[in-house]
């Protein structure tokens, strides 16, 4: 389903206000961002600057008050609630801080379940686990895996629906330096070799060397560049 000329993510002039009355916060202030298939974009910025809000509208978990969000050409802010859920399951992958795996399921079954939820009963579990270097751990449960291995399974699970867009929240938070580099290098590999657009929020400036583009959020506004330490 991927063509390589339509942006995987196109956010235009998005405004998102949270809270109300005196506690009203403009979490996103006229944010625009375009990410093409195969690009790996990082979002950095201080706590409270709006990074999670950006991921939330990109993943159609929240609707901006103004502006548009297109995922692979579809304006997700115009879809009904049920259509949004279906669209998300089929087109967007999510990777969370600590893998967020289900404790009782083996690595292979985590992927099978995700496939069924996305409406695809014929997931090639072995190839997917192999693509993240985890084929040899297919029968292990999360408790039998290291933090880095859990993240790898989480990434494979997020790729089950062959998403055009992969949204990644602080993937190195629970990892040591080397494992953090390995996981982010794996995300770069998937972006470049599976042509997925990856948008990663991170506090970890050390891993930015793996990214193609770096953006900095400050007070709800997105800047084009950030300094890499």
Ligand X SMILES: Nc1ncnc2c1ncn2[C@@H]1O[C@H](COP(=O)(O)OP(=O)(O)OP(=O)(O)O)[C@@H](O)[C@H]1O
Positions that interact with ligand X (CB under 6 A):
18-19, 25, 27, 45, 47-53
Burial of 215 (0-12, 13-18, 19+ CB in 10 A): buried
DSSP code for 142 = G
**Least distance to ligand X from the beta carbon of 199, Å?**
13
**Least distance to ligand X from the beta carbon of 28, Å?**
8
Q: Which is nearer to ligand X, 16 or 211 (CB)?
A: 16
Q: Which is nearer to ligand X, 11 or 123 (CB)?
A: 11
Dump strand ranges (E) for the chain.
9-18, 25-35, 40-44, 66-71, 74-75, 92-95, 165-169, 197-201, 213-218, 221-223
164 in Cβ contact with 1 (< 8 Å): yes
Q: Which is nearer to ligand X, 175 or 217 (CB)?
A: 217
Residue 193: partners with Cβ closer than 8 Å, 6 or more residues away: none
SS (H, E, C) 40-58: EEEEECCCCCCHHHHHHHH
Q: Which is nearer to ligand X, 51 or 72 (CB)?
A: 51
- The DSSP element (H or E) to which 191 belongs, if any, is helix 177-194
**Least distance to ligand X from the beta carbon of 141, Å?**
29
41 in Cβ contact with 8 (< 8 Å): no
**Least distance to ligand X from the beta carbon of 61, Å?**
12
CA distance 221 to 154: 30
**Least distance to ligand X from the beta carbon of 210, Å?**
20
**Least distance to ligand X from the beta carbon of 226, Å?**
13
145 in Cβ contact with 137 (< 8 Å): yes
Q: Which is nearer to ligand X, 22 or 143 (CB)?
A: 22
Q: Which is nearer to ligand X, 30 or 130 (CB)?
A: 30
């Amino acid at each position: 389903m991927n063509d390589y000329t339509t942006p995987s993510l196109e956010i235009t002039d998005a405004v998102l206000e949270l809270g109300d009355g005196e506690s009203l916060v403009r979490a996103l202030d006229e944010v625009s961002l375009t990410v093409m298939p195969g690009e790996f974009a990082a979002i950095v910025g201080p706590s409270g600057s709006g990074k999670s809000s950006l991921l939330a509208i990109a993943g159609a978990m929240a609707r901006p008050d103004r502006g548009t969000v297109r995922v692979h050409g579809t304006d997700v802010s115009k879809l009904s609630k049920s259509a949004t859920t279906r669209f998300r399951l089929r087109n967007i992958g999510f990777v969370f801080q600590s893998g967020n795996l289900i404790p009782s399921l083996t690595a292979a079954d985590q992927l099978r379940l995700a496939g069924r939820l996305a409406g695809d009963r014929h997931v090639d579990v072995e190839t997917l686990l192999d693509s993240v270097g985890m084929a040899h751990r297919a029968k292990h449960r999360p408790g039998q895996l290291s933090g880095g291995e859990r993240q790898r399974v989480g990434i494979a699970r997020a790729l089950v629906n062959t998403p055009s867009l992969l949204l990644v929240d602080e993937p190195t938070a629970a990892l040591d330096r080397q494992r953090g580099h390995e996981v982010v290098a794996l995300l770069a590999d998937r972006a470049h070799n599976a042509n997925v657009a990856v948008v990663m929020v991170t506090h970890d400036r050390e891993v930015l060397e793996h990214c193609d583009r770096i953006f900095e959020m400050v007070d709800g506004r997105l800047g084009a560049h950030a300094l890499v330490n």
